[in-house]
Amino acid sequence: MSLELLGSRILAPYFGNSIYVWGSLITVFLAALAAGYYLGGLLADHFPHSSTLAWPLFLASPTTFFIPALANLLGPFLLSLKLEPRWGSFLMALALFFIPSLWLGMLSPLAIRLLTLGLDTLGASAGTLYAVSTLGSIFGTFVTAFYLIPVWGVADLTRGAGLFLAGLSGLAWIILRRWRLLPLTLATVFLFALTWQPWVGSQPARSAQPAGQLPPGWKVLYQADSLYHHLWVVENADSRFLRFDNSWQSGMYLADPYATRFEYTDFFHLALVMNPKVKDVLFIGLGGGSAPKKFLRDYPEARIDVVELDPAVIAVARRFFFVPPDSPRFRVLAQDGRVFLQQTTRKYDLIVVDAYYADSIPFHLTTQEFLRELKSRLQPGGLVAANLIGAFEGPKSEVFRSLYRTFSSVFPTRYLFPVHWDKEADPSLLRNIILIAGEGRPLDRKILLQRAQEMVTNGQIQVPRLATYAASLYQNPVAVGDVPLLTDDHAPIDNLLRFDPQGAR
């Protein structure tokens, strides 16, 4: 179970953390265990000796230890093949985890055979073994998920598991007095030591670069495994970026931390054109904090709450992206956005949803029930602004059109603003699309454009290209008849994400 949890993190930088990744891992592990149980049973009948039990432990050791190294070679290769996420993740899981899981699967039937003294004790022996192994799985899952991954990181933990298996096989040789085989284990451990220098409490020993490789001149400032992502902070000559797994999340100019690096964040200010009285603002999703810190600086009377699921992201945003500490006007809470909405009694003039990252959208933040909770937390005249990734038409449009259908079922007024529409007005192009929704009477495009220009001219909004963004208002009908309405009961987001998300943000 520990290895399966680690597997999700090893695949995430290349294929995200979708249901396909978990489905691939579970399928591969179950198939390997089934094969291991069968082969272990055959070995148990033909070689019913204690030493037979030590061999699978020994063979599982190197095949586990070198998983991170193999992943660093295999992941970029599979990405270069442009495989569909479900097949790419399955092939990588198969290559990395089938063999070590097969060896480990052989242990149970071997152990049952050795523990069984007769047919009258077979049931008790099998029951005891499965109880002990299940308790071990519970312990390994709990400790790995809650403590070890955030402290050690994925690569060190995987290598540590390989070293632990080698130690167990060595202990078995000693107990069984198989002295001639003990040097084999010692040589294996020595080989591990030559290729690994573990350290505790620091960033994990992973590839020096994120999946997809960085251009020349870039450098990695920080990387770590959090409870939810593998985080990267990378930098080039003029900018710093935050990355979750294989998805770019946020950027900042080094010379001006408040200047817009990813243009989509400036589109959120269009909400103030529609409701100039915005004072209380909630952001669901922090990332590098580009939008919240700009709102805090540009609107001195505003009170801003930010809800971010991952505490490690909050720490990184404050350390590397100049997100300020909490104050009477600004606070950041480590909590799931939907849970926060259910628990808070506070109401907002504007709620910004920026928690949809390209390769894996949290489904519970897309459903009709979630949007109703958003609506219940709005002041009269309040608005929701959401950063969506998709296309208006064509094969990459299904996830956006499904989200739009769901928003339409809750909010009668909706505005769509495609990012970079002035550069390439192609409705089938994958891009960021800002959706602003509410209940008021929709503004005419001409009035919207005029207001935006006036508010920039008089200094109310410090976004110079705001009128250009307002002019990109998309007014063509969006076809939603062939896409699902997203509900808590049925939200097939992963199935709708059929595009390569690398270019969005």
Q: Which residues are catalytic?
A: 354
Q: Shortest CA distance to 491 belongs to which of 387, 359, 403? A: 403
**How buried is residue 94: exposed, middle or buried, by Cβ count under 10 Å (0-12/13-18/19+)?**
middle
Closest CA to 471 of 294, 267, 190: 267
Would you state the structure tokens that stand for residue 499, as one six-digit string?
């595009």
Report d(CA 77, CA 79) in Å as an integer.
5
Q: Which pair of structure tokens corresponds to residue 160?
A: 């540590």
Q: Is 276 exposed, middle or buried (0-12, 13-18, 19+ CB in 10 A)?
A: exposed
> Could you tell me which residues come within 8 angstroms of residue 443 by beta carbon, excluding any fewer than 6 positions away?
273, 274, 451
Q: How far apart are CA 181 and CA 363, in angstroms?
A: 52
* Residue 18: count of CB within 10 angstroms of its CB: 21
Q: Are 282 and 295 in contact (CB under 8 A)?
A: no
**Helix locations, 47-153, DSSP H:** 50-65, 67-80, 85-105, 107-115, 122-143, 149-152
Dihedral sign (CA 364, 367, 372, 374) = positive
